[in-house]
């Protein structure tokens, strides 16, 4: 897959993850509002469940990490769905790549006990 397509589809995957996260917060807010309404209490404000500044920063980061993961793995991606999946799992994939260890010596140079 070419670099531009991989990056855009990876970013789409990161965007999908962010939409699901925001939906979870909205659903929690809705549930809290219904509960408060039944009990005759004050309705909770949306800002208790969504922080626009932080949520926008996380969304941009997820888009960037999704695009970066797809760029890193673009030669291994052979379809639209795969590129989106790589982008959706971008933060986890890049963390895994970053935590890999380089062996001190090639396997053939290790002496048997």
DSSP string, 23-43: HHHHHHHHHHHHHHHHHTPPP
Which band of pLDDT confidence, cut at 50, 70 and 90, is reported for residue 75? very high
Contacts of 48 (CB under 8 A, 6+ apart): 29, 32
Specify the higher pLDDT residue, 74 or 104: 74
Specify the higher pLDDT residue, 3 or 107: 3
Could you read off the pLDDT of 35-61 as tens digits, one per residue?
999 999 999 999 999 999 999 999 999
Within a domain: residue 49? Answer: yes
Within a domain: residue 104? Answer: no
Within a domain: residue 72? Answer: yes
pTM score, two decimals?
0.76
Domain span at residue 46 reads: 3-99
């Amino acid at each position: 897959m070419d670099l531009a397509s991989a990056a855009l589809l990876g970013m789409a995957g990161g965007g999908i993850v962010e939409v699901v996260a925001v939906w979870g917060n909205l659903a929690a807010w809705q549930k809290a509002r219904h509960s408060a309404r039944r009990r005759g209490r004050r309705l909770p404000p949306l800002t208790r469940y969504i922080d626009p500044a932080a949520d926008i920063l996380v969304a941009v980061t997820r888009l960037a990490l999704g695009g970066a993961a797809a760029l890193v793995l673009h030669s291994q991606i052979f379809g639209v769905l795969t590129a989106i999946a790589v982008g959706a799992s971008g933060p986890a994939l890049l963390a895994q790549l970053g935590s890999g260890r380089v062996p001190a010596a090639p396997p053939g140079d290790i002496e048997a006990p």
